[in-house]
């Protein structure tokens, strides 16, 4: 690693709230080289063709992210139902949220990208989300893995989640469950969700005027609302809650 890259990574970690003096990351000078190599791996996209790239840490980061978000919601919002917590977590770990976080923390300038990824402006949000998730895995690893890694991740992400959750809970219509469900279904190769709505009453202002059912990948959900959009959002939310509560294959 060049001295310039080392300084760039150290400055980036400091901007995230990590450093050699806080007891959470880079615990002593001797650990710097290994820690920075892990961070560098997370920020090196596979399009570079380098043997060490973000894929392995992205896989780890996916699992860590979901656990850290669940712990955050359990601690910060204990009164939420399991279904509401599951649906809210789907927002807080989505690729959309990750790509927005990546922009907030200025991740792109420290990424190492290959020519194909550099030229693909349309796919930049996906690249940012992937490497941001890999960074979660790297911080978990450098922070101690099972012995303290989750604390390091929560130290970093907690304030961001707090702000996002407050906005979403203050205005339920900001929950874009449809977009999250579509993101999931396309990522799983299940195509687009199909929505079927009907008007239950013609009373203006009826909070359950519309009823909607959504089907995707063998799953279905129902929702009601004062508008078609609200009913669709609630139907998508029901599917997301079911996905979070359903046991993983083989369990």
The whole-number pLDDT of residue 175 equals 64
The whole-number pLDDT of residue 207 equals 79
Q: Is 236 within 8 Å of 251 (Cβ atoms)?
A: no
The whole-number pLDDT of residue 6 equals 87
The whole-number pLDDT of residue 225 equals 86
Contacts of 125 (CB under 8 A, 6+ apart): 95, 96, 99
The whole-number pLDDT of residue 131 equals 94
Query: What is the residue-level pLDDT of the chain in tens, covering all 251 positions?
Result: 888 998 899 889 888 888 655 555 554 444 578 888 999 999 999 998 889 999 999 999 999 999 999 999 999 999 988 777 877 888 898 888 999 999 999 999 999 988 877 777 667 888 899 999 999 999 999 888 898 889 999 999 999 999 998 888 876 555 678 887 887 888 788 889 999 999 988 877 677 889 999 999 888 999 998 888 888 988 988 888 787 654 444 43
The answer to whether 41 is annotated as binding is no
What's the distance, Cα to Cα, between the start and end of the chain in Å?
Answer: 42
The whole-number pLDDT of residue 215 equals 93
Two tokens, residue 197: 């709505």
82-134 pLDDT, tens digit per residue, is: 777 877 888 898 888 999 999 999 999 999 988 877 777 667 888 899 999 99
The whole-number pLDDT of residue 27 equals 41
Contacts of 30 (CB under 8 A, 6+ apart): none
The answer to whether 14 is annotated as binding is no
Structural domains of the chain sorted by starting position, each given as residue range(s) with its CATH number in brackets: 3-173 (1.10.1520.10), 177-245 (3.30.160.20)
| Positions marked catalytic | 62, 133
The answer to whether 244 is annotated as binding is no
- Burial string for 75-86 (b: 16+ CB within 10 Å, else e) reads eeeeebeeebbb
The whole-number pLDDT of residue 70 equals 93
The number of C-alpha atoms within 13 Å of 42 and in the hemisphere containing its C-beta is: 29
Contacts of 111 (CB under 8 A, 6+ apart): 43, 44, 45, 127, 128, 131
């Amino acid at each position: 690693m060049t001295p310039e890259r080392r300084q760039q990574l150290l400055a980036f970690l400091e901007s995230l709230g990590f450093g050699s003096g806080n007891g959470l990351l880079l615990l002593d000078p001797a650990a710097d080289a290994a820690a920075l190599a892990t961070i560098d791996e997370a920020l090196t996209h596979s399009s570079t063709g380098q043997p060490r790239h973000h894929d392995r840490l992205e896989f780890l980061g996916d699992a860590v992210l979901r656990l850290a978000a669940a712990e955050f919601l359990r601690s910060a919002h204990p009164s939420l139902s399991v279904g509401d917590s599951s649906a809210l977590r789907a927002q807080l770990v989505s690729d959309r949220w990750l790509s927005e976080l990546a922009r907030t923390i200025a991740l792109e300038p420290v990424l190492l990208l290959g020519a194909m990824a550099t030229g693909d402006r349309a796919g930049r949000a996906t690249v940012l989300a992937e490497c941001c998730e890999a960074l979660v895995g790297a911080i978990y690893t450098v922070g101690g893995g099972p012995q303290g890694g989750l604390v390091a991740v929560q130290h970093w992400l907690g304030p961001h989640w707090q702000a996002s959750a407050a906005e979403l809970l203050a205005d339920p219509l900001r929950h874009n469950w449809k977009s999250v469900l579509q993101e999931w279904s396309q990522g799983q190769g299940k195509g687009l969700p199909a929505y079927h709505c009907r008007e239950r009453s013609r009373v203006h202002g009826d909070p359950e005027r519309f009823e909607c059912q959504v089907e995707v990948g063998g799953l279905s959900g129902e929702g009601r609302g004062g508008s078609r959009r609200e009913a669709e959002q609630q139907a998508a939310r029901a599917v997301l809650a079911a996905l979070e509560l359903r046991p993983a294959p083989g369990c």
